[in-house]
Amino acid sequence: MKTRTIGEILKAERVYHRLSLVELSQRTRIRLEYLQALEENRFDELPAATFVKGYIKTYSRLFGFDYQPLLALLRRDYKESARGKLVPREFIKPVLQRRFIWTPVTAAVVVVGLIFCVVFGYITVQWYQLNQPPAVALISPQENALVSSQVVVEGQTAPEANVLVNSQPVSLQNDGSFKTEVFIPRQGLATITIEATDRRGKTQLVQRTVYVSF
């Protein structure tokens, strides 16, 4: 069974109480054309939704019925536009759906956007790497290791870097690996410092604390 519209319900109440639209307009001071549009569900010809709700409440006060079900019906079937006007929901949904239709233009925009993101990401990574000091991976000694006076220092860094171990230069292999011995004359805690400096003058400093025991 077809559900009656808001306009049909309001009109039925007015007819039941034997009141013409002209008389209703005079008693409520609502413009005649607005009352006609309301009873014919021509909400696009009515003012903002706030006024429409007010008209429905005026009907309810005059004819003695509960307006809440009508407002619920209004919320179900209509939605407020950006300008506050009531628009049938079936007219809004297709517009929303069309925004997501995949077209050649959309595909081109997405592809261009992806290319831009990849290029921008690559440039960002390269810039970041260029501004970083050379990495130093120290194999030995381990932090807080127990060592003798002759400590083997072994690690790897960028092949073009210059490496100092306790301020003494160390030669690198072609792959950037290095290995040298450091003499520590005293027992107890000692710190070994490894510095790697690249051609741009960027320096990475790594320190190891060891415990020397003869």
Please state, rounded to an integer, the average pLDDT across all residues of the chain: 88
Task: Classify burial at 19, counting beta carbons within 10 Å of its beta carbon; exposed 0-12, middle 13-18, buried 19 or more.
Answer: middle
Pick from 4-18, 83-97, 122-136, 196-210: least confident: 83-97
Q: Where are the domains of the chain?
A: 6-98, 137-212
Minimal CA–CA distance to 134: which of 118, 157, 107?
Answer: 157
Considering the segment(s) 6-98 as one domain, its CATH architecture is: Orthogonal Bundle (1.10)
pLDDT in tens, 147-171: 999 999 999 999 999 999 999 999 9
Preceding amide of 141 cis, omega within 30 = yes
pTM: 0.42
* CA–CA separation, 180 and 165 (whole Å): 8
- Identify the H or E element spanning 101: none
Work out the average pLDDT over 4-21: 92
Name the nearest CA neighbour of 38 among 59, 18, 20: 59
Each residue's pLDDT tens digit, 18-76: 999 999 999 999 999 999 999 999 988 999 999 999 999 999 999 999 999 999 988 88
Q: Report percent pLDDT > 70 for the chain.
A: 93
CATH number 2.60.40.10 is the correct assignment for the domain at 137-212: yes
What's the rounded mean pLDDT across residues 137-146?
A: 92
The pLDDT, as a whole number, for residue 90 is 66
203-212 β-sheet, strand order: 145-147, 203-212, 188-197, 162-165, 168-170
Residue 51: predicted pLDDT: 92
Q: Which pLDDT does position 2 carry in this prediction? A: 63
